[in-house]
Chains A and B, each alone.
Chain A
Amino acid sequence: MSQGDLRAGPFTHEKSSIARTMMLVMLALLPATAFGFYQFGWPALFLWLSTIGAAVATEAVCLRIAGKPIRPFVLDGSALLTAWLLAMTLPPWAPWWIGVVGGIVAILIGKQVFGGLGQNLFNPAMVARVVLLISFPLEMTTWVSPKPLFSAEAPDFLSALAITFGGGLDIDSMSSASILGHVKTELGRNADLAGALAGSYDPIGLLVGTVPGSLGETSALLLLGGGLFLLAMRIISWHIPLAMLGSLALCATLFNLIDPAHYPNALYHVLSGGALLGAFFIATDPVTSPVTVRGQLLFGALLGLLVYVIRTWASFPEGVAFAVMLANGLTPLIDHYLRPRIYGRTRKGQPISYAETQEGGNG
């Protein structure tokens, strides 16, 4: 009976587990991912599989080396989700080894060297993305315009194999720029914004996802839907996404009002690149974001600001990965200073007192 285990209660539990959390996030990613496969064809699927395969294998090897049980940790889905998120941010026709290197870096350097699940300071998927972007700038910025499956221009299975695994196909001939890259380049040439946007900026396309871009970042609507699903399932809370998108939109609006000729508006920033994927799926990574509501609001706001600054003034057209890593680095600091007020105490930790005048103990 109960003699063996005399641990304290509770002796009932909510239907929650780490595996369930990870599974729900994957479920939320599914529509945008499936759409990515449809848009970019077989090569996207191959890249996705390469990334996930490498990550899960790395996870298993690391667990073995660390002497931890392999089954429960591989089956919790955390490595799978990390690789999935990374794959979402990769150019869909990137060669297989981009996915493999990314998957290995994410799990090995991004997660396991810190001690495994729950111990990493930085978001592993973003660590891998930044490593890839710096190491392989060409492969990481070669975009293709959508060639939906079963359409005439879509590569068939064999040529898709060649694109991903052969590297033989000359994809330069088909390459196309993402909107962020295009506008950055044009503005760099002292063109004005209207000229840069003309013919390439397509808000409806960004919403639906029929634009060049990363594997799973193009469809704003599907990402938003996935994010709302996570909110409804209480897997994430609204604080980080809203603070991040809000601060990004605020910065964009502010500069757009000051100088509309050079600074695109809020809609452009929110819909393009990795803003939505980042806000709902990456910045909300529990391990690397603050634990308190106030901390999460600050974290999100900071993140939005960093994304804007990097996109606007740094040399890279997209800044979500850098911004996430910078904000991740601040998480311990934020958690140290922003703590909830303890019941019966003031924010300073003194017992509240009703007799004297309240000093610093409001709320």
Chain B
Amino acid sequence: MRSSAFKLFRIRGGVHPEGRKQDTCGQPIRELPMPALLRIPLQQHIGAPAQPEVRRGDRVLKGQLLATSQGLISAPVHAPTSGVIKSIGKFPAPHASGLPVRTITLEPDGEDRWIDLDPQATPLHLEPDDIAERVAAAGIVGMGGATFPSAVKLGLRERFELHTLVINAAECEPYLTCDDRLMRERAHEIIDGIRITLHGLQVNKALVAIENNKPEAIAAMTEAARAFDEITIVAVPVRYPMGSEKHLVQTLTGKETPARSLTADIGIVVHNVATVRAIGEAVRFGRPLISRVVTVGGGAVHEPGNLQVPIGAPVEALIEACGGLREEPAKLLSGGPMMGQPLPELRVPVVKGTSGILALTTAEVASKPTMPCIRCASCVDVCPCGLLPLEMANRARNADLQGAADFGLMDCVSCGSCSYVCPAHIPLVQYFNYAKGALVEQQRAKHKQEETKRLAAARAERMERLAAAKREAMAKRKAEMAAKKAREAEAAQAAEADDAATEPTDAPVNKLAEPQVGT
């Protein structure tokens, strides 16, 4: 069902970057030809890296488990196609640092043969816990870019009183159209995923928020959701950062998520639209998350488009499939231009959170030399979090971390709206990221120092107590010895004097039981 009269609420600030989606939004999703090698990092999610379950030389089938999840917040990794494990080693991460991370290299055998799957014809009859378990086993993480393990979010119902599932299909980043295409082409699968997720959360209301600039997607989704009263398709205004979880929830409900809390605190769980489709695939068909839709765009790419890509495909294969590069890009990005990460090189693999690969030209990046701040307050006007970016940046630049924190640094969502409008081209987000990292580091160091201090003090106290006990025991023994001697002398005297009078001794002989060692 689509509600045209759905009441929306205004969020503070925000910007209207040029959408630049027209190059790719009209193009159907194409299958990427299977690359010669897939490099599958073991950590494609927030949390602990997965632990390999295969060895070099193993033959694996499509969908086979390659590495298991470790701990509560983690996700397993599966083979995107059938083939041979060539190595388990280190390979540059698809991250600005390009640091090597543990990676399984798989050589596809070209057969693309599935492992035996465990489909579930009636997923809505499963226990909610079974759904969470299947989602966890399928290695599903937030596909909007946050890559938080989805099963953990399904488990939120145990801790919070939930009432609404919000599907984030805003896709507010410029260039990206992968969610748009997915909604146009796979609306029924998405709706199925939403129904399964609703059941898994034991919630009976879902709101699918799509920005107004995607009328075809809104139409397709509305059509697919027609039969389900519990699902409402809501067209939301085009304004970056509409896709920020907490701001989207505010747009839909008018409620702000309290600082340092989850949206679950106000009864709402948010999942990305591609993620719920993956949940549907995993629960109904038993298919793990082994591929995703990626937008390949930017002015430096010959034929921008959307590709269905196996996890682990190298970025260069995607660009090649899109006609190659027109020119040397000024920036190569993973994700959108507002919050995406610069990529160090073309060999790095696509991971579960890669929504786009952008090769931007100098004109598109529109970078200019930084000038001094003129306090124009553009950043204050556009900040969706009600912060004073100019004051925070000022302090961060002078390494006054506490000052920046006092101005609300930790409430910043790094959406980049401030940097986007700054007429002085000050890299505000860079300052904030630096300060956040340094602050966390500082707190960690402080915590460590305090712990060390506490432990050292406890140890000193313990040692002191032991020494005191020892001294006491020694003194006692001495006293006893003296007493014994005295007694013996007395006894001798008494024997001599033939006088048998007994005197009380003062303590038992037990010494080591006295001091109690504790904290």
Contact = CB atoms under 8 A, between A and B. Distances in A.
Interface of A: 1-3, 5-18, 20-21, 72, 76, 78, 116-119, 237, 286-287, 289-292, 339-345, 351-354
A122 to B, nearest CB: 13
Closest 6 CB pairs of A and B: A344-B259, A291-B377, A10-B416, A286-B376, A351-B259, A13-B366
Nearest to B433: A8
Contacts of B174: 12
Contacts of A287: 374-375
13 contacts: A2-B331, A3-B344, A8-B416, A9-B341, A9-B416, A9-B419, A13-B368, A117-B371, A340-B12, A340-B388, A341-B386, A342-B387, A343-B386
Contacts of B145: none
Contacts of A76: 371
Contact of A342 (B259, B343, B344, B433): B259
Contacts of A2: 329-332, 342-344
A351 B427 contact: no
Contacts of B324: none
A61 B338 CA distance: 39
Interface string B406-443: 00100100101001111111010110010000000000
A363 to B, nearest CB: 10
Contact of A72 (B97, B369, B380, B390): B369
Nearest to A237: B381
A135 to B, nearest CB: 29
A343 B380 contact: no
A44 B68 CA distance: 81
A361 to B, nearest CB: 10
Given A237-B381, A343-B256, A352-B259, 4 more contacts: A8-B416, A8-B430, A9-B338, A72-B371
B331 A10 contact: no
Contacts, number: 172
A76 B390 CA distance: 20
A18 B423 contact: yes
Secondary structure at the A interface, as helix, strand, loop or mixed, is: loop
B204 to A, nearest CB: 21
**Looking at chain B's contact residues, is the secondary structure mostly helix, strand, loop, or mixed?**
loop
A342 to B, nearest CB: 5
Contacts of B369: 72
A18 B96 contact: no
Contacts of B411: 342-345
A16 B15 CA distance: 13
A354 B369 CA distance: 45
B385 A342 contact: yes
B384 interface: yes
A1, A76, A340 pick with most chain B CB within 10 angstroms: A1
A335 to B, nearest CB: 8
Contacts of B339: 9-10
B420 A14 contact: yes
B367 interface: yes
A76 B424 CA distance: 10
B373 interface: yes
Nearest to B414: A8
A173 to B, nearest CB: 45
B458 to A, nearest CB: 34
B377 A286 contact: yes
A351 B18 CA distance: 34
B367 A18 contact: no
B258 interface: yes
Nearest to B175: A12
Contacts of A286: 374-377
Contacts of A340: 12, 380, 383, 386-388
B380 A13 contact: no
B348 to A, nearest CB: 12
B371 A21 contact: no
